[in-house]
Amino acid sequence: MPHYFFDTDDGYFRHEDDEGFELPSLDAARIEALDALPDMPRNKLPDQDRRTYSVRVRDE
């Protein structure tokens, strides 16, 4: 099964995933990334009114 890594960026801090997840396909990894995005602003209160959040998917 393919192994995917999810790197996140909140505009101030970039985290490079070094553990990752085994998922059946790139489509499954894309869904995981899209599901993670709404949770990112909830976990951190922004210092500003606007902030850009992103998730980058990498494979092995």
Query: Are the C-beta atoms of 35 and 53 separated by less than 8 Å?
Result: no
Query: Are the C-beta atoms of 51 and 11 separated by less than 8 Å?
Result: yes
| pLDDT for position 14 | 93
Does a structural domain hold residue 55?
Answer: no
Does a structural domain hold residue 51?
Answer: no
| pLDDT for position 25 | 95
Does a structural domain hold residue 56?
Answer: no
Does a structural domain hold residue 40?
Answer: yes
Does a structural domain hold residue 57?
Answer: no
The segments of the chain whose pLDDT lies below 50 read: none
| pLDDT for position 40 | 80
Neighbour-count burial of 29, counting CB atoms closer than 10 A to its CB (0-12 exposed, 13-18 middle, 19+ buried): buried
| pLDDT for position 11 | 82
Does a structural domain hold residue 58?
Answer: no
| Predicted model pTM | 0.81
Domain that holds residue 26: 3-44
Structural domain tally of the chain?
1
